[in-house]
Structure 1
């Protein structure tokens, strides 16, 4: 009886994990990627996107994309007033490698925000030799 209970618990954990991954994939599929070069071109247009850097304050201070607003991914609720002001804008989100940006995007997608994800995040931006400001 004990081993069948453990089997059942393990089975439930696997089901929850797969379900979680599926929800994450659906959110990612709904948030389109934007290439760094496309973002640069957009920033020179009459309707530039709002860029959101979801890294820590320290990471942001070490170098970020010009014009990016720093809203760390774990401060969504604390920054809800600012985010509500940005709701009608298209946001481009990035972090270091993508994990934190995906968490942020998932939360904002559920709230109806228009989002893009910077392809390659800040590591991709740096690898292309694109400028950062401090």
Structure 2
């Protein structure tokens, strides 16, 4: 699944679309700022949260972190677990804030 740009995500949000957004940053990072509607699941806890995400296996999931590295790891992990529509937010939260 191709990654998504901050501009594309903001455009979809402005149109009232609400994709599932998972913030894989640490809780303290999430407290400093977050994308509205996102849920915080730190990368290190993602394996333990798979059961909770099971219903989303065939739905679009957008993962993000601060700059895109951890979320790229999350995308690869979720894809290996059978999630079929995982997209990484290009540039992470920093790029989203600046766009």
TM-score bin, normalised by smaller chain = 0.7 to 0.9
Deviation at 1:97, TM superposition (A): 1.1
Give the structure with the higher percent helix. 1
Structure 2 distance, partners of 1:46, 1:87, is 22
Structure 1 distance, partners of 2:80, 2:2, is 15
Deviation at 1:104, TM superposition (A): 0.8
> TM (normalized to structure 1)?
0.66
CA displacement 1:51-106 (0-9 Å, x = unmatched): 11000011111111000011111111221222213223201111011111111111
RMSD of aligned alpha carbons = 1.7
Residue matched to 1:77: 47
> Does the C-alpha gap of structure 1 residues 62 and 121 become closer, same or farther in structure 2, counting only changes over 3 Å?
same
Matched, 1:105 2:75: yes
Of the two structures, which has the highest relative contact order with CA contacts closer than 8 Å and spacing of 6 or more?
2
Residue matched to 2:89: 118
Deviation at 1:39, TM superposition (A): 0.8
Q: Which has the larger radius of gyration?
A: 1
Alignment of 1:1-134 (within 5 A): 31-45=1-15, 48-113=18-83, 114-128=85-99
> TM (normalized to structure 2)?
0.86
Number of residue equivalences: 98
2:7–2:96 CA contact under 8 A, matched in 1: no
